[in-house]
Amino acid sequence: MTATVIDGKAFAATVREKVAAHVTRLKEEHGITPGLAVVLVGEDPASQVYVRSKGKQTVEVGMQSYEFKRDIDITEDELLALIAQLNADPSVHGILVQLPLPAHLDSDLVINAIDPAKDVDGFHISNVGLLGTGQKSMVPCTPLGCLMMLRDHHGSLSGLNAVVVGRSNIVGKPMAQLLLGDSCTVTIAHSRTKDLPEVVRRADIVVAAVGRPEMVIGDWIKPGATVIDVGINRIEKPEGGTRLVGDADYASCAAVAGAITPVPGGVGPMTIACLLANTITACCRANNLPEPEGLTA
Ligand code: GUN
């Protein structure tokens, strides 16, 4: 079997189109421009690339982008004061603090200072608890993007066996909660799981989010299963230079799977698209307006 390739780049473009249409409606019918504030501390090159990309896409869908770049030696009190200012600003509907933060700042403290209603990353402890108890919350962007692609491919996920490989707070754990919410039978596996290949072989849906390049191989995949690859790893090529690979070995998995997301061009583009979707959701909730359909969990 050769797997269907789930085109995340194209899917993300359709999500952005839906977001843009919603932005137009909010502006024309309600006089509201959704606003997203991104806070970047320090000059980590990868973070700078992410933040630039977020800002560009925010503007492209018609929303207001606010960027707050702060020196690496900002104090915790200064950063908390900035977050308090953004919490109080009615033109800001979403707040994202780019991670990782420098070591002298307590990330949990900073994230939990964000108004949960503006927490478009879904990292605030209140949103984690709401998601875990099946209540309306802000949902982390990468797992939300994976869920959207899975729903689009499968229709209903009810009763399917899902194995999430990886237990991070940003991807693995919320992904498992979302799949459970869609009535999958969910296993969270990780690098220490005993007989990992055997566990993965039971899965109708495999979400690879373990952070190890090409760890999940075709031999582990049940024929016809769907493989969602969250990994983004840069590895050295034998002939020199580097290339991006996922946490799944694409060639061997694609030979067995029913569907698979490529790297790059799979889950990656969905993350920012879902950040924009979350900003619309936060803006609608803040203004007691109906939420956009198909852009939330
Ligand atoms: N750094 C890398 N990915 C992310 C993300 O999704 N959100 C935040 N806040 N920081 C990140």
Confidence of residue 139 (pLDDT cuts 50, 70, 90): very high
CA dist 215 and 206 (Å) reads 13
Q: Which two tokens stand for residue 25?
A: 């409606």
Strand partners, 233: 245
Alpha-carbon dihedral sign for residues 170, 13, 178, 124: positive
Of ligand 1's atoms, which has the minimum distance to the CA of residue 170? 6
Residue 99 C-alpha to ligand 1 middle, in angstroms? Answer: 5
Please say if 121 is a catalytic residue.
yes
Chain segment 265-294, per-residue pLDDT in tens: 999 999 999 999 999 999 999 999 999 999
> Is the four-CA dihedral 244, 100, 148, 209 of positive or negative sign?
positive
Residue 101 shares a structural domain with residue 154: no
With respect to residue 189, please indicate whether it lies within any of the assigned structural domains.
yes
pTM over 0.75: yes
Question: What letter represents residue 184's amino acid?
Answer: C
Residues 86 and 92 sit within 8 Å (Cβ to Cβ)? yes
Are 180 and 239 part of one and the same domain? yes
Instruction: Report d(CA 62, CA 72) in Å as an integer.
Output: 31
Average model confidence (pLDDT) for the chain? 97
Residues 85 and 156 in one domain: no
Give nearest CA residue, ligand 1 atom 2: 99
6: phi then psi, degrees, rounded to nearest 5 = -85, 115
Claim to verify: residue 168 and residue 84 sit in the same structural domain:
no
**Ligand 1 geometric centre to CA of 199 (Å):** 29
Structure tokens given for 211: 């952070």
- 22-45: pLDDT as tens digits: 999 999 999 999 999 999 999 999
Contact present, 67 and 10 (Cβ < 8 Å)? no
Euclidean distance between CA atoms 114 and 97, whole angstroms: 9
Do 111 and 153 lie in one domain? The reply is no
pLDDT of the residue at 2: 87
pLDDT per residue as tens digits for the range 185-240: 999 999 999 999 999 999 999 999 999 999 999 999 999 999 999 999 999 999 99
Determine the average pLDDT of the residues in 135-143.
Answer: 98
Could you say which DSSP state residue 154 is in?
H
- Tell me, yes or no, whether 274 lies in a domain: no
Q: Mutate which of 121, 175, 272 to test ligand 1's pocket (most atoms within 8 Å of Cβ)?
A: 121
Note whether 6 and 153 are within 8 A (CB): yes
Boundaries of domain holding 110: 30-116
Query: Is 248 part of a structural domain of the chain?
Result: yes
Tell me the CATH number at 49: 3.40.50.10860
pLDDT at position 4 over 90: yes
Q: Phi/psi of residue 127, each to 5°?
A: -70, -35
Among the atoms of ligand 1, which is closest to the Cα of residue 123? 9
| Helical H segments across 172-266, by residue range | 172-181, 196-201, 250-254
Same domain, 145 and 245: yes
Find the mean pLDDT for residues 64-69: 98
Distance CA 152, CA 32 (A): 30
Cβ of 121 below 6 Å from ligand 1: yes
Residue 56 confidence class, pLDDT cut points 50, 70, 90: very high
Q: Are residues 98 and 161 in the same domain?
A: no
Tell me, yes or no, whether 165 and 83 share the same domain: no
Q: Is 98 a catalytic residue?
A: yes
Cβ of residue 98 lying under 6 Å from some atom of ligand 1: yes
Task: Please indicate, yes or no, if residue 75 is contained in any of the structural domains.
Answer: yes
Burial class of residue 284 in the structure, from the number of CB atoms within 10 Å of its CB (0-12 exposed, 13-18 middle, 19+ buried): buried
Do residues 107 and 155 both lie within one domain?
no
**Tokens 């420098």 belong to which residue?**
102
Find out whether the beta carbon of 204 lies less than 6 Å from any atom of ligand 1: no
DSSP 3-state of 288? coil
Q: Half-sphere exposure (CA, 13 Å, Cβ side) for 212?
A: 10
Give the CATH number for residue 148: 3.40.50.720
Written as one letter, the residue type at 147 is: L
**Length of the chain in terms of residues written:** 297
**Structural domains counted in the chain:** 2
Same domain for 106 and 145?
Answer: no
Residue 277 lies in a domain: no
pLDDT recorded at residue 100: 95
Check pLDDT > 90 for residue 19: yes
How many other C-beta atoms lie within 10 A of the C-beta of residue 52? 13
- Residue 272 pLDDT: 97
pLDDT in tens, 74-133: 999 999 999 999 999 999 999 999 999 999 999 999 999 999 999 999 999 999 999 999
Identify whether residues 250 and 147 lie together within a single domain: yes
State whether 155 and 67 are in the same domain. no
2 inside domain = no
Is there a domain that residue 262 lies in? Answer: yes
* 183 within a domain of the structure (yes/no): yes
Q: Are strands 233-236 and 242-245 parallel, antiparallel or unpaired?
A: antiparallel
In ligand 1, which atom is closest to the CA atom of 140?
A: 6
Task: Write the residue with the smallest CA distance to atom 8 of ligand 1.
Answer: 98
Ligand 1 pocket member 97 (CB < 6 A) = yes
